[in-house]
Amino acid sequence: MSPTPIFLPSHEPPARPRDNALLFLARGMELLISERDGAIVLPTGAAFPDVVPAAHYLGTLDGVDCYTAPLARDFTPPEGTTLVPARALYKRLDEVRFAIAGRALAISEWDVQHRFCGRCGQPTQLVAGERARRCPVDNTPFYPRISPAMIVLVTRGDTMLLARNSTLPEPMFSTLAGFVDAGESLEDCVAREVREEVGIDVKNIRYFGSQPWPFGRSLMVGFTAEYAGGDIQVDGKEIAEAHWFHPDNLPRVPPRLSIARHLIDAFVERVKAIPPSGR
C-alpha cells in the first residue's frame, strides 16, 4: 500500500525555482490535466512559464511545491492535455490530492471574481502575507468565500436514515445536508434541514467532523443526531425518497472519500460491534 501523501498548506511562495512545481490550473470548475497509463498527471511549471509568475501558492505535496492559477475562458488546452470537470476526478484522485484540487478551485475563482472592488469598482491588489485582495481606494478587503453547510446522519436504534436526492444524476442514498442560513447556528441548521426535508425531529446533535467541498465552495460540517419523533414525509423537491436502513441491508451509498460515507461507515462499525443481545 502506498503511503498517504502529505500536504502542508501555505500562502507564502518560497524563493526557489518553479519549473518542477505542480500546477492546479482551473477554468471555473474544470482542471487542466493529462493522463498517463490511466493515471491523472498534473502539469508542471516548466510547461506553463507564462502562468507561473501570477500563480497562487498552495503549499507542498510530499515536498513538491503546488500552485494554482485561473485560466481564461477562451483558453485552448495544449496537445496532450484536457480540461475536465473537477467532480469527475472524485473517484480518481486520493483524498489528499482531491482536497488540494478543491482548494485550488476556490482560490482561482476568488482571484477572478474579486479583481475589482464591489463597492467602488476600482481594480483590487493582492495583499502580501495573506490570502486577500484589497481595494487601494476604500481599503475594502476581499477574502476567499466559504459557505458553511451541515451534513447529518440521523439514527434510530440500529438503523440510519438515508435519502435519495432527486437532482443527482446517479441513483444513490446518502445523508441529509443543507446550507446554513444567516444568523443560524450549525445545530439549528441540522434540526431545520431535517425537518424541512424529511419531516422528522431530532435530538442529541453531536459534532462528527468536517470536509471542504469545492462544489458549492462550502465547508461540510458533519453531525450525528438521534430520531426524536415524527413520520417521514419527504419534501418532494430536493428529496425523492427516504427510508430507515439497517447496516446489513444498505442501498448504494456515496464513495469512501466523502464525509457522508465516513458518517455511514462509523455507524455501521458501531452497530456491528454491539452484541445482538445489547441492540
* 119 conformational bin, left if phi > 0, alpha if psi -120 to 50, beta if neither: alpha
The answer, yes or no, to whether residue 69 has pLDDT greater than 60, is: yes
Give the confidence band of 136 by pLDDT, cuts at 50, 70, 90. very high
Q: How many residues does the chain have?
A: 279
Specify whether 98 is located in the same domain as 174: no
Q: Whole domain around residue 28: which residue ranges? A: 7-113
pLDDT at 279 > cutoff 70: no
Cell numbers linked to 11: 500562502
In the predicted model, is pLDDT for residue 1 greater than 60? no
Annotated binding site for a divalent metal cation: 177, 193, 197, 238
Task: Output the pLDDT for position 54.
Answer: 87
Domain membership flag for residue 93: yes
Please give the annotated binding residues for Zn(2+), written as ranges: 117, 120, 135
Same domain, 200 and 268: yes
CATH code for the domain in which residue 69 is found: 3.90.79
> Do 156 and 75 share a structural domain?
no
**Residues ≥6 apart with Cβ < 8 Å to 161:** 153, 154, 155, 176, 198, 200, 227, 232, 242, 243, 244, 245
Nearest partner of 176 among 157, 159, 190, judged by Cα: 190
Phi, psi at 68, each rounded to 5°: -135, 150
Q: Is 196 helix (H, G, I), strand (E, B) or coil?
A: helix
CA dist 30 and 161 (Å) reads 33
Q: Which band of pLDDT confidence, cut at 50, 70 and 90, is reported for residue 215? A: low
In a shared domain, residues 97 and 157: no
Please report whether residue 161 resides in a domain: yes
Whether the pTM exceeds 0.75: the reply is: yes
Residue 121 falls within a domain, yes or no? no
Residue-level pLDDT at 247:
95
Give the distance between the most distant pair of CA atoms in the chain.
Answer: 70
SS (H, E, C) 25-64: EEECCEEEEEEECCEEECCEHHHCCCCHHHCEEEEEECCE
Answer yes or no: do 155 and 263 share one domain: yes
pLDDT of residue 276: 67
The number of domains in the chain is 2
Q: Which residues are annotated as a binding site?
A: 87, 117, 120, 130, 135, 143, 177, 193, 197, 238, 260
Same domain, 194 and 151: yes
Most confident range, picked from 2-6, 83-87, 187-191, 215-219: 187-191
Specify if 49 maps to a domain: yes
Select from 67, 89, 113 the last residue of a domain.
113
Q: Is 230 a residue whose pLDDT tops 70?
A: yes
CATH of the domain at 176: 3.90.79.10
The Cα-based distances of 220 to 130, 152, 243 in angstroms read 24, 10, 23
Q: Kindly state whether residues 106 and 154 are assigned to the same domain.
A: no
For residue 179, the surrounding DSSP H or E stretch is strand 176-179
At 277 the pLDDT is 61
Q: Would you say residue 119 lies in a domain?
A: no
Same-domain check for residues 153 and 96: no
Same domain, 85 and 175: no
| Confidence band of 255 (pLDDT split at 50, 70, 90) | confident
- State whether 64 and 160 are in the same domain: no
71 lies in the same domain as 178: no
Higher pLDDT, 220 or 255: 220
Q: Is residue 126 part of a domain?
A: no
Annotated binding site for substrate: 87, 130, 143, 260
Is 48 contained in some domain?
yes
The bridge status of strand 173-174 relative to strand 218-229 is unpaired
CB 133 within 8 A of CB 122: no
Checking 115-123 for CB contacts under 8 A at 24+ apart, the result is 117/142, 118/142
Backbone angles phi, psi at 192, to 5 degrees: -65, -50
Cell of 57: 501558492
Distances (CA, A) of 60 to 2, 24, 208: 18, 12, 28
CA distance 15 to 58: 14
Query: Within a domain: residue 131?
Result: no
Residue with cell 419527504: 234
